């Protein structure tokens, strides 16, 4: 007599077409690899996601870090996605925002802040570019990086939450055969999505800050996960934009039920006034700021009178 846990399992196992073994009682026994195939099949129906956050991070705060946690819980909770990595990409100095201190420090602070994170890391590519880089190009850079490492099973797979499984997954892929390696496995390549607050979404409306085509490509080709307190305002904003409305299925609004208004601006202001920023930023970041005396009335005056890089670039192109 053959017993199965449930009917669903039977179908999945026969698809795997592994060896069928039975124990003394006649109960089907699953080889470890077959069990893994069952598990990974359920998981492989989910789209793997990498959350990319672009911004000044001047400095990084607990609020920035919360965005990642909220987004991950939300995306994983839909049952359709599996968030495998978070990437913080601090903007380059060429952005010329008022009060923006050197990328070198902002990167180090972000690294200190994510030291104890198992899945969020810092990427310096954007900050190392000589000129300011459009967000769309940063998204493209990271997506291409993922695709490149995905085609070659010998390279490191994107960092998974449970490191022990990584090896088995790579071994298993080799079993699928030569043919799979030649075709780009679009289903298996993780998708990069832009993580942001509502302020970025609404900045799409600022004249000359974004190129229209860029906005369309960001929401069309990649997708947006927007953490917001005022869900109604964000929904309205999407409704009033044809480009956003068209790709609304690719825009995930995540409600932040509690106001957690730890903005970098307020941190810098508190520091100028000799007020405590404890418990608003990770301790290591606070200690680094104190040690290097990073924020002062002078640092806040940096780039005063200078036009923000995207405004400069887009206005020039519009006028040419």
296-300's contacts with Cβ under 8 Å and 24+ in sequence apart are: 296/271, 296/272, 297/272, 299/99, 299/101, 299/268, 300/98, 300/99, 300/268, 300/272
The least distance separating another protein from the CB of residue 171, rounded to whole angstroms, comes to 31
Instruction: Pick one of 105, 266, 272, 302: the residue that binds another protein (CB under 8 A).
Output: 266
The least distance separating another protein from the CB of residue 250, rounded to whole angstroms, comes to 23
285 in Cβ contact with 116 (< 8 Å)? no
272 is a contact residue toward another protein (CB under 8 A): no
291 is a contact residue toward another protein (CB under 8 A): no
**Part of the chain binding another protein (CB under 8 A), chosen from 135-143, 218-226, 264-272, 293-301:** 264-272
The least distance separating another protein from the CB of residue 253, rounded to whole angstroms, comes to 17
Distances (CA, A) of 307 to 101, 102, 204, 304: 16, 17, 18, 8
Instruction: Pick one of 116, 232, 249, 319: the residue that binds another protein (CB under 8 A).
Output: 116
Task: In whole angstroms, give the CA distance from residue 192 to residue 167.
Answer: 23
121 is a contact residue toward another protein (CB under 8 A): no
The least distance separating another protein from the CB of residue 108, rounded to whole angstroms, comes to 19
Site string for another protein, 221-260 (x = CB under 8 A): ------------------------------------xxxx
The least distance separating another protein from the CB of residue 301, rounded to whole angstroms, comes to 21
53: part of which helix (H) or strand (E)? strand 47-55
Task: In whole angstroms, give the CA distance from residue 248 to residue 226.
Answer: 12
**Part of the chain binding another protein (CB under 8 A), chosen from 29-37, 236-244, 273-281, 289-297:** 273-281
For residue 232, give both structure tokens. 């109604």
Closest CA to 299 of 97, 84, 72, 15: 97
85 in Cβ contact with 72 (< 8 Å)? no
**Part of the chain binding another protein (CB under 8 A), chosen from 188-196, 270-278, 294-302, 312-320:** 270-278
Nearer to another protein, 38 or 270 (CB): 270
Task: In whole angstroms, give the CA distance from residue 292 to residue 288.
Answer: 6
The least distance separating another protein from the CB of residue 61, rounded to whole angstroms, comes to 9
The least distance separating another protein from the CB of residue 266, rounded to whole angstroms, comes to 6
58 in Cβ contact with 101 (< 8 Å)? yes
Instruction: Pick one of 153, 280, 299, 303: the residue that binds another protein (CB under 8 A).
Output: 280
Torsion angle, alpha carbons of 90, 143, 140, 138, to 10:
0
Distances (CA, A) of 203 to 167, 207, 234: 42, 9, 11
Which sign, positive or negative, has the C-alpha torsion 301, 305, 306, 310?
positive
Contact set for another protein, span 54-83 (CB under 8 A): 62, 65-66, 69-70, 72-73
Residue 144, classified by CB atoms within 10 Å of its CB into exposed (0-12), middle (13-18) or buried (19+), is exposed
38 is a contact residue toward another protein (CB under 8 A): no
Nearer to another protein, 261 or 293 (CB): 261
**Residue ranges binding another protein (CB under 8 A):** 62, 65-66, 69-70, 72-73, 116-117, 257-263, 266, 269-270, 274-276, 278-280, 282-283
């Amino acid at each position: 007599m053959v017993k199965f846990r449930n009917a669903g399992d039977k179908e999945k196992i026969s698809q795997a077409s592994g060896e069928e073994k039975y124990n003394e009682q006649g109960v089907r026994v699953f080889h470890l690899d077959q069990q893994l195939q069952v598990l990974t099949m359920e998981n492989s129906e989910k789209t793997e996601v990498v959350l990319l956050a672009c911004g000044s991070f001047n400095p990084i705060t607990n609020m920035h870090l919360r965005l990642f946690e909220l987004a991950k819980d939300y995306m994983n909770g839909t049952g359709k996605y599996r968030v495998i990595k978070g990437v913080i990409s601090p903007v380059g100095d060429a952005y010329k925002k008022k009060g923006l201190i050197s990328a070198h420090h902002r990167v180090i602070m972000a690294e200190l802040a994510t030291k104890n994170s198992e899945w969020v890391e810092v990427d310096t590519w954007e900050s190392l570019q000589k000129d300011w880089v459009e967000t769309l190009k940063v998204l493209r850079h990271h997506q291409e990086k993922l695709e490149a490492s995905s085609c070659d099973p010998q390279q490191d797979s994107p960092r998974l939450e449970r490191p022990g499984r990584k090896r088995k997954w790579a071994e298993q892929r080799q079993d699928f055969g030569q043919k799979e390696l030649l075709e780009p496995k679009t289903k298996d390549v993780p998708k990069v999505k832009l993580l942001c607050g509502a302020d970025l979404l609404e900045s799409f409306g600022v004249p000359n800050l974004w190129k229209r085509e860029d906005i369309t490509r960001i929401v069309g080709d990649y997708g947006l996960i927007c953490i917001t307190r005022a869900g109604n305002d964000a929904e309205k904003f999407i409704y009033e934009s044809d480009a956003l409305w068209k790709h609304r299925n690719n825009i995930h609004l995540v409600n932040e039920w509690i106001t957690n208004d730890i903005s970098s601006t307020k941190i810098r202001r508190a520091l100028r006034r000799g007020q405590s920023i404890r418990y608003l930023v990770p301790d290591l970041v606070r200690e680094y700021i104190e040690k290097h005396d990073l924020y002062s009335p002078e640092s806040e005056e940096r780039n005063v009178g200078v036009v923000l890089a995207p405004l400069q670039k887009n206005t020039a192109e519009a006028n040419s």
